[in-house]
Amino acid sequence: MGIRVALNHRTSYRYDRRITLSPHIIRLRPAVHARTKIHSYSLKITPDPHFLNWQQDAFGNFLARIAFPEKTNEFSFEVDVVAEMEVFNPFDFFVDDYAESFPFDYDEMQREELVPYLKIRDEGPLLMEFLKSVDRSEKKIVDFLVMVNQLVEKHINYSVRMEPGVQTCEETLERCVGSCRDSAYLLVQIFRHLGLAARFVSGYLVQLTADVEALDGPSGTAQDFTDLHAWTEVFIPGAGWVGLDPTSGLLAGEGHIPLACTPEPASAAPVVGVMEKCEVEDFEFSNTVRRIHENPRVTKPYTDEQWKAIDVLGGKVDRELMANDVRLTMGGEPTFISLDDMEGAEWNTTADSPEKRQLSLSLLRRLQKTYGPKGLRYYGEGKWYPGEPLPRWSFDLIWRKDGKPIWHDQQWLGEPSGKGKATEKQAKSFTLKLAEVLGVDRECVRTAYEDRYYYLWYEGQLPVGIDSAKADLDDPLERQYLANLLSKGMEKPVGYVLPLKWNYANDRWTTVRWEFRRDKLYLTPGGSAMGLRLPLSSLRSECDEEQDEVVLPRSPLEPAEALPEFPPHDLKRLDFPAERLRLPPSAVVTAVSVEVREGHLYIFFPPLDDITHYFDLVNVVEAVASELKIPVIIEGYEAPYDIRVDRIKVTPDPGVIEVNVHPTQTWAELKSLITGLYADARQTRLGTEKFMVDGRHTGTGGGNHVTMGGVTPADSPFLRRPGLLRSFITFWQHHPGL
């Protein structure tokens, strides 16, 4: 069910004296072929007494003939229509086989019946010249109709013309301006010259404001609107009369309610009649539309009054939770799909695609502007599901709750999109400079290579006849890696590695020089970031494992102090000499890796235990990027969990993009978060709805999870009162409508 509207059209005249009115003809009743469902119709006439007779003209249009037996000093009519504004597909029609393509000829009987609609009235030079611009080559009839309709719409500018009558085609083409009736008449004559039967239509146009603003082009009327309008209908065998509106360049839709359809504009005039000569003292006209019933729908599930009530209730619940010291937080995991490609595999079954990555990057940029303009964008790996060769990606945004910057100048923070300009030489310079600013020994930087011996062995295992230098998307990942390596050359460095960890004893960064049996650092075979392919097993021995430093992670129950600030690094301040501690190579088994992929410089962060150490490393990386004028992409292990930091994750799921949002503590925060997220997603061309084959709405298919808890584990109402969780789940199960 669509939106039920009440249309009211009233016109009144008051004369300076009592006069005689001739019989009047009023053509303001919806035609029988109107596709918009009409629930009721009424026509009120003043003055009384009068005689009203409903008739049908020669073309099947309803007309009211009104006779006035007495003189009167007023005349008015009022039309009330209740219509169902339900969207329909204007292209939903069949066409007879012989009329599927233009040009075609009507059969003999149809041509006789359509004689009035084929009669040509205008043959001026401007019209003949315009007809030369029409492409008359064979094409599908629907495409031809749309092309001609849009040709007129683009050529003729619309204007409200109050003068009576219809301009000739020559006038309209000469001025390139006309009212709706002028454009409709021009299109009628054009179709007749092209051999298609066409008629002039007078009717009501109803336009309702859109629930959601359009992303492409105008959003339509700013308020619900209706007025008299004119358009064209062309007769297509099998389809019947097809409506075309040259004012908008569109086919007639649910807002077009035809009243009179005739071969000539004069016989479709809404009101016709004469009167004695007199003066009009007062003239009033109104044409309004109002909504009288709306069903909840995807784009507007609640009325404005209902939403206000929900908003008030949310505030009331907040006050009750606060009064009872509940300390509840709420977040969520909403999912989105593409607005432009709902049928693609990545929006139905598969988890990843280039388009999904690009949309996720665009969404992350918008979210940063909204929530963390001074935060850090991180591009790493997310969940690894059984049966998938690699973990899925995760695009994250982290920012400090206190508003202090994590990354100061966003121009040095890149993203994995398109081709970059970074080089292997810049990667080496960056790594050496990073070691210098961190105050660790530059000699510990190692160059990383692919293990050519492994790939030579793997190439030798391939069947005869397979070109190892070529691979496609259907080949195993290892074949694709091999082809890629052979194209680049396995002797070239992949990147640079700086062993690094935080030394809690000395409260500083520590490094060692990694030594290997084969001298060089050869990466574990694979196609992941090199930070995930470091040969760490080559560093360890049993005695080394016994000497591992045990670092306990920060307790989530420990009170959190304010985070220190990290102002832009000056690159000159070294709090300690750049020296290497005397430790075995296996004493440091984490490292920063720097490599160039697709022309972008990637910085792989090692796992860290404390958020302050993470921010310190970020601060130094930004300073080096700024000094060398090289944008960098942060990847690797994500920042340690800390209640003083918020984060949003944009991740792939089968058929959808999932966004894991940070928890909120109040209704106002939750409302702002969700509305902001959905607004940013829409601007990224992501939506939350699909259409089934029959046109019904459905969700994304990925769900929209709700997460609840507390700011800290100690605050969680489900841990403070464990029985509450059981009660909550039971209530949810007993109320499936939730």
At 410, is the pLDDT very low, low, confident or very high (cuts 50, 70, 90)?
very high
pLDDT value, residue 391:
85
pLDDT value, residue 587:
79
- The mean-pLDDT minimum among 360-374, 377-391, 462-476, 664-678 falls in 462-476
Closest C-alpha among 507, 516, 446, 457 to residue 482: 457
Rounded to an integer, the average pLDDT of 389-412 is: 92
Structure token pair of residue 337: 């799909």
Angle of CA points 76, 82, 84, to nearest 5° = 150
Rounded to an integer, the average pLDDT of 68-77 is: 94
Q: What is the dihedral of CA 474, 477, 480, 484, to 10 degrees?
A: 150
Residue 478 reports pLDDT greater than 60:
no
Contacts of 533 (CB under 8 A, 6+ apart): 523, 524, 525, 526
Task: Determine contact, residues 141/100, Cβ cutoff 8 Å.
Answer: yes
CA atoms 634, 640, 641, 645: torsion sign: negative
Around 246, how many Cα atoms within 13 Å sit in the side-chain half-sphere? 35
Which pLDDT tens digit goes with each residue over 564-577? 998 888 776 455 55
Domain ranges of the chain: 3-87+274-294, 97-268, 326-402+644-734
pLDDT value, residue 581:
52
Distance between CA 648 and CA 671 in Å, rounded? 16
At 257, is the pLDDT very low, low, confident or very high (cuts 50, 70, 90)?
very high
* Average pLDDT of every residue of the chain: 89
pLDDT value, residue 120:
95
pLDDT value, residue 260:
96
pLDDT value, residue 484:
59
Say which CATH topology domain 3-87+274-294 has: Immunoglobulin-like (2.60.40)
Rounded to an integer, the average pLDDT of 327-332 is: 93
Q: Which residues pair with 79 in a beta bridge?
A: 9, 43
Closest C-alpha among 243, 271, 236, 273 to residue 258: 243
Residue 595 reports pLDDT greater than 60:
yes
Rounded to an integer, the average pLDDT of 671-686 is: 94
Of these ranges, 290-299, 312-321, 474-483, the one predicted with the greatest mean pLDDT is 312-321
Q: Which residues pair with 591 in a beta bridge?
A: 499
Q: Which residues pair with 262 in a beta bridge?
A: 200
Report the 3 state secondary structure along 424-442.
HHHHHHHHHHHHHHHCCCH
Contacts of 27 (CB under 8 A, 6+ apart): 61, 62, 63, 64, 202, 259, 260, 268, 269, 270, 271
Which residue has better confidence, 507 or 455? 507
Task: Determine contact, residues 574/509, Cβ cutoff 8 Å.
Answer: no
pLDDT value, residue 454:
65
What are the Cα distances from residue 591, in Å, to 68, 433, 618, 682?
98, 15, 14, 39
Rounded to an integer, the average pLDDT of 74-100 is: 94
pLDDT value, residue 171:
94
Which residue has better confidence, 283 or 581? 283
Which residue has better confidence, 730 or 504? 730
Structure token pair of residue 373: 């303009």
Rounded to an integer, the average pLDDT of 584-590 is: 77
pLDDT value, residue 474:
46
pLDDT value, residue 541:
56
Q: Which residues pair with 74 in a beta bridge?
A: 14
Residue 441 reports pLDDT greater than 70:
yes
Residue 473 reports pLDDT greater than 80:
no
What CATH number was assigned to the domain covering residues 97-268? Answer: 3.10.620.30
Distance between CA 237 and CA 593 in Å, rounded? 70
Which residue has better confidence, 290 or 544? 290
pLDDT value, residue 459:
56
pLDDT value, residue 492:
85
Residue 557 reports pLDDT greater than 80:
no
Report the 3 state secondary structure along 234-290.
EEECCCEEEEEECCCCEECCCCEEEEEEECCHHHHCCEECCECCCCEEEEEEEEEEE
Residue 596 reports pLDDT greater than 90:
yes
Which residue has better confidence, 732 or 685? 685
Residue 276 reports pLDDT greater than 60:
yes
Distance between CA 714 and CA 706 in Å, rounded? 20
Task: Compute how many other C-beta atoms are within 10 angstroms of the C-beta atom of residue 120.
Answer: 10
Q: If 0-12 CB within 10 Å is exposed, 13-18 middle and 19+ buried, where does residue 637 land? A: middle
pLDDT value, residue 736:
85
Instruction: Provide, rounded to the nearest whole percent, the portion of the chain with pLDDT above 90.
Output: 69
Residue 579 reports pLDDT greater than 80:
no
Say which CATH topology domain 326-402+644-734 has: Creatine Kinase; Chain A, domain 2 (3.30.590)
Residue 583 reports pLDDT greater than 70:
no
pLDDT value, residue 1:
61
Residue 636 reports pLDDT greater than 50:
yes
Distance between CA 402 and CA 337 in Å, rounded? 33
Residue 536 reports pLDDT greater than 60:
yes
pTM of the model as a whole? 0.79
Residue 6 reports pLDDT greater than 50:
yes
Taking the alpha carbons at both ends of the chain, their separation in whole angstroms is 24
Radius of gyration of the chain (CA): 37
